[in-house]
Amino acid sequence: MAYITAAAAHLGKGGARLTRSLDPAWLATAAILALLALADRSQAALSAGFVIDSAIGILPFLGFAVAAAAYAKASGSDALIARAFQGNPVRMVVVAAVVGALSPFCSCGVIPLVAALLAMGVPLAAVMAFWLASPIMDPSMFLLTAATLGTPFAIAKTVAAIGLGMLGGYGVLAGQRVGLFTNPLRANLLRDDIAVGGCGSPSLDDRDIVHWAVWSAPERRAKFAREAAASLAFLGKWLVLAFLLESLMMAYVPADLIASAVGGDGVLPVVAAALFGIPAYFNGYAALPLVSGLIESGMAPGAGMAFLVAGGVSCIPAAIAVFALVRAPVFAAYLAFALIGSVAAGLAYGLV
């Protein structure tokens, strides 16, 4: 009996190690591709190509954020960077929202930067403000929006981006006053993937000497490589799955379904546009001509605003990446802020 018990324990440990080695994100990606290859081989090839193209497109943003976070960790400058975001929280939320609205990051491209900011210990309120505002507007998006939907619409969308960022930032501050949103990152990230937050992050009061010349010290070069590889592996696997799901949405969800649901006037079309925008498969640039055509066909401009704001913040690829990064309460708040803010922006623009 003792031998059987020992053998069972050994198998149990081996099974646990095997379970840990089978990453759920890669398993889901492989399973979807396998099923797609059996059911629709041509779409499997198209989806694989879409994932590759999307990954190449986001690689500059991903590489910059990963390298910046790894350098901050290896040099010890992450505490200094985090302290730069300290101060009056009311002011920091406004600054983060304005900077986010002017930054050139899409809803997926901002995820690596958000991970880096949280790794550096930046307060969640400022990060949330930046996070929500950044994907909605940037300089090139402003010009394209003005050309497609008019300059007043582009200005209103910029104001909506800043307002949504402030809504999220101040909402987080209010929640933190009653004990919510502590330790925003998922627990497994503190140990395995990107080693951020909690005991893995430096204290904002850390006074360690910063070693800027990372490349001159072998141990710091090694730490840079470890941090960059871990961050890239974690963010990459979830973005690959997100892009794969986005390709399936584009292939199998008819655009006419969305168009018919958000037409008309009143409050309900604005709410419906926001609800459809949250899982929308259109990126910000592709959505502009769609919304322009819908408005020309009779859709209320406020509904178009709600669709663009909600879709820009929390489309399916971005939502999956956010879900993988933060705990459930923060993820729920992220979606709630996106929905409430987009509906408010649509109603306000309709009134104006």
Which pLDDT score is estimated for 1? 38
Examine residue 52 and state whether it is found in any structural domain, yes or no. Answer: yes
At 153-169, the pLDDT tens digits run 999 999 999 999 999 99
Which pLDDT score is estimated for 341? 94
| Pairwise pLDDT comparison (262 vs 180), residue with the higher score | 180
294 in Cβ contact with 262 (< 8 Å): yes
Q: Which of 15-24, 82-91, 158-167, 316-325 has the highest mean pLDDT?
A: 158-167
Mean pLDDT of 78-95: 72
Distance CA 312, CA 135 (A): 6
The domain in which residue 236 lies consists of: 41-351
Which pLDDT score is estimated for 197? 37
Distance CA 48, CA 96 (A): 36
Examine residue 3 and state whether it is found in any structural domain, yes or no. Answer: no
pLDDT-derived band at 11 (thresholds 50, 70, 90) equals very low
Examine residue 96 and state whether it is found in any structural domain, yes or no. Answer: yes
At 286-324, the pLDDT tens digits run 677 667 777 776 778 898 899 889 888 877 666 777 787
Examine residue 201 and state whether it is found in any structural domain, yes or no. Answer: yes
310 in Cβ contact with 342 (< 8 Å): yes
Taking residue 76's Cβ as centre, other Cβ atoms within 10 Å add up to: 18
Mean pLDDT of 116-132: 82
Distance CA 132, CA 137 (A): 10
In order, the DSSP letters of 64-130 are: HHHHHHHHHHHHTTHHHHHHHT-S-HHHHHHHHHHHHHHS---TTTHHHHHHHHHHTT--HHHHHHH
At 161-193, the pLDDT tens digits run 999 999 999 999 999 999 888 888 776 554 444
Weakest-pLDDT range from 40-44, 76-80, 240-244: 76-80
pLDDT-derived band at 74 (thresholds 50, 70, 90) equals confident
Specify the DSSP class assigned to residue 194: S
Mean pLDDT of 15-31: 67
Examine residue 320 and state whether it is found in any structural domain, yes or no. Answer: yes
Examine residue 11 and state whether it is found in any structural domain, yes or no. Answer: no
Give the DSSP H/E element, type plus range, for residue 132: helix 124-133
Distance CA 170, CA 174 (A): 6
> How many domains does the structure of the chain reveal?
1
Examine residue 5 and state whether it is found in any structural domain, yes or no. Answer: no
Examine residue 255 and state whether it is found in any structural domain, yes or no. Answer: yes
